[in-house]
Structure 1
Amino acid sequence: MQFFSSNFKLGILGGGQLGKMMLYETRKWDIYTKVMDAAADAPCKIACNEFVQGSLMDYDAVYQFGQDVDVLTIEIENVNLDALEKLEHGGKKVFPPTKTLRTIQNKATQKLFYTDHEIPTAPFTRFAYTSEIEDSIHNGGLQLPFVWKSAQFGYDGQGVKVVRKIEDLQGLPNVECIAEHMIDFKNELAVIVARNTKGEVATYPVVEMEFHPEANQVEYVICPARIDPKVAEKAKEIALKVSEHMNQIGLLAVEMFQTQDDQILVNEVAPRPHNSGHYSIEASYTNQFEQHIRAILGLPLGKTDSKVAGVMVNLVGAEGHTGDVVYQNMEQILKMEGVTPHIYGKRQTRPFRKMGHVTIVDEDMARAREVAQKVKETIKVISE
């Protein structure tokens, strides 16, 4: 099939920043794109060939959207899977496959998948409703502390809470959930695995993630991770095992814990481009967004090595600020060497909302990390 400057049409469900950065690559290759998102001012709107406003969870909207595209992909997991499944049965190419998405979309199902396939993960207990947890604690079935996770619709730190005492359960939604054993870890790591429709596989270097203690969001992504090469190799092997068993096509970002005794435990996965791979736009031979396009179209996978050390800093809305966004001190960070900001195109900010990211590249990792700290301290995402 001819993809470039042709009648081929790629459909993307979700019009946020991940879709916007995917469109950098489709524009580069002149691949025709059609995007759907619920927001009329979604970041993707200005860069795609066709934009459709509609709910990603609405069966009819998703099914109708997919009728006239040749390949359908996602930039967010929360989409109507029944509609995607019907499109698949009708002959449409959907990547990642609906079966993979069904496993991943529900965190309880995802954890059971790891257990069934002997993939190391933190011990957990599954609950139909949050209200069942208190009885389990009183009856000795569950011990404090633990991490509460909503089974569905969690993202960017939402739907996750550390529960240290029973009172911490107050205010949590009464939904299907898991209670996960708290892991005493050295590092949080991630590996992105690319797999194309022909079965070719490639992995990106292991990255290290530093999280905001309150928002449970990634603040820094550091590539390569500052870990022992043997640990890095183990992390890659486990990520490849997850990808193989899930039959993933496209990208699979595998988030993991490195324990105090250097065991690797899978935390969760995302079947798409991921925050942990943003550094690759500036630092890698083939960035993650181009790689995803290559994979789902069955094109040869690109080189995943890094050209230079990279650190990614997330730009999130400052606490106490809601409204029209202002990026304070942008000129100051642009004066710093090796610094590239990416602004996602969201006009409204709110506390901890992802508004952009900054990549810092340098031949010296320690120096890149120092500059990243300066960037974080300098730029502020506030409201007017």
Structure 2
Amino acid sequence: MKNIFSGEFKIGILGGGQLGKMLLQKAHDFNLHIAVLDPSANAPCRNLCNRFVQGDFKDFNTVYNFGKDLDLITIEFEDVNVEALEALEREGKQVYPQPAVLRIIQNKGSQKSFYQQHKIPTSPFVLIKNRDDIAQADIDFPVFQKLLTSGYDGYGVQFLENKNTLQKAFDAPSVLEQSVDLEKELSVIVARNAKGEVAHFPPVEMEFNPEANMVAYLFSPAGISPETEKKAVSIARTIVEKMKMVGLLAVEMFLSKKGELLVNEVAPRPHNSGHQSIEGNSTSQYEQHLRAILNLPIGNTAIIQPSVMVNLLGEKGYRGKAIYEGVEEVLKIDGAHIHLYGKYETRPFRKMGHVSIVAPSLEEAKMKAKKVKSALKVIA
């Protein structure tokens, strides 16, 4: 048997963006041999991995040829070629998360049906084939229309106030999901290894940029009751166990003003809602993902200190070679940790980095986060 930590055991990652970069930073601590496949020649992972392959992770032959000489394949982005991963799995390669799990998660209709089948709370929904189906849909407006496939980070999502706004709807297979009278948005990240060991990170609270529909701030711990925390954790653990998934699963949830918890979406990989764990928790989500897929003991997820994560997005009106303003000012803030993703070009609302702020209290961390937000800008 190959020794995982000797460099003989070869791991492949489909996707070479910022999540892969932070995963690689932890993989170096474990002396892991990592190959990366990404379509971009300037992917953030390019200069950190043992082998970089430029190619389309949605193409069967590219993914299959990339994986055939590896021992284990994982992902940093779920919109990849599942058929190729299934072929590799049949040939004895370890693929985590499993292709069967990816098939559920890649299709938002399949996700919703999975929740329904397993009595996991989620917003009322209907599936439609095209724009014309919306007018006859048996659902109360307002609704969110979500493309069945290939939507992420707010892309492929459209808010429809009523049936008079259908002209802006997508004319494609979608989920129509009833809007929630929202109190907060939460996330629970949970990990499971092949032995069936499961551990969760304490819930975090997300605050979104209303224009880009992307996370602006993340607060750890979430400002919720012990009862709500217990229920959120139970839901996340139920999903990963019902899927029998190996790896890391981020479970995004709505907390309604009536106190209901409803699953929004899941992501089978490290996630934006776990960045703060690098400095804020005993084990980071990146280390936990590696522990899970390598069938190692699952790490302690306890909060070391309260933390806030600030997403660093490209400023509106700027497109081109990235210039970072305010870095020195942020470095003067005690407890602030800058993570720049290595993306050469910026554009409006593109994820360019994040800053985690740890402090003895969440209130202090929030105050410092506001200073970070006003000081650090990405322009061109």
TM-score where L is the length of structure 1 = 0.97
- 1:170 is displaced (CA, Å) by 2.9
Superposition pairs for residues 220-369 of structure 1, below 5 Å?
220-369=217-366
Q: Which residue of 1 aligns with 2:22?
A: 21
Q: State the secondary structure of the residue aligned to 1:155.
A: coil
Q: Summarize deviations over 1:34-92 as a string: whole Å, max 9, x none.
A: 00000011000010000001101100000111101101000000100011111111111
Q: Which residue of 2 aligns with 1:126?
A: 127
Correspondent of 2:204 among 187, 198, 207: 207
Correspondent of 1:163 among 129, 136, 160: 160
Q: Which residue of 1 aligns with 2:370?
A: 373
Are 2:16 and 2:46, in contact at CA under 8 Å, matched by a contact in 1?
yes
- Tell me: CA distance 1:172–1:53, structure 2 relative to 1, closer, same or farther (3 Å): farther
- 1:166 is displaced (CA, Å) by 4.0
Q: State the secondary structure of the residue aligned to 1:239.
A: helix
Partners of 2:333 and 2:159 in 1: CA distance = 37
Q: Summarize deviations over 1:218-243 as a string: whole Å, max 9, x none.
A: 11111100111111011000111111
The answer as to 2:188 corresponding to 1:188 is: no
Partners of 2:164 and 2:329 in 1: CA distance = 44
- 1:142 is displaced (CA, Å) by 3.5
Partners of 2:164 and 2:278 in 1: CA distance = 43
Query: How much identity, in percent, do the aligned residues show?
Result: 50
Partners of 2:82 and 2:330 in 1: CA distance = 42
Q: Summarize deviations over 1:275-302 as a string: whole Å, max 9, x none.
A: 0000000111110001100100011111
Partners of 1:217 and 1:6 in 2: CA distance = 37
Deviates more, 1:171-180 or 1:100-109: 171-180
The answer as to 2:98 corresponding to 1:84 is: no
Q: How many residues align?
A: 379
- 1:132 is displaced (CA, Å) by 2.1
Are 2:321 and 2:345, in contact at CA under 8 Å, matched by a contact in 1?
yes
Partners of 2:158 and 2:70 in 1: CA distance = 39
Q: Which amino acid aligns with 1:127?
A: I
Q: Which residue of 1 aligns with 2:173?
A: 176
Are 2:36 and 2:45, in contact at CA under 8 Å, matched by a contact in 1?
yes
Are 2:191 and 2:247, in contact at CA under 8 Å, matched by a contact in 1?
yes
Partners of 2:165 and 2:32 in 1: CA distance = 49
Correspondent of 2:215 among 196, 214, 218: 218
Q: Which amino acid aligns with 1:136?
A: Q
Q: State the secondary structure of the residue aligned to 2:58.
A: coil
Partners of 1:43 and 1:5 in 2: CA distance = 25
Partners of 1:193 and 1:376 in 2: CA distance = 29
Q: State the secondary structure of the residue aligned to 1:44.
A: coil
Q: Which amino acid aligns with 2:176?
A: A
Q: Which residue of 2 aligns with 1:53?
A: 54
Q: Summarize deviations over 1:175-214 as a string: whole Å, max 9, x none.
A: 2101110001211001000101111110000100001111
Are 2:313 and 2:350, in contact at CA under 8 Å, matched by a contact in 1?
yes
Q: State the secondary structure of the residue aligned to 2:104.
A: helix
Partners of 2:114 and 2:286 in 1: CA distance = 27
Partners of 2:162 and 2:129 in 1: CA distance = 20
Gaps of 5+ in 2: none
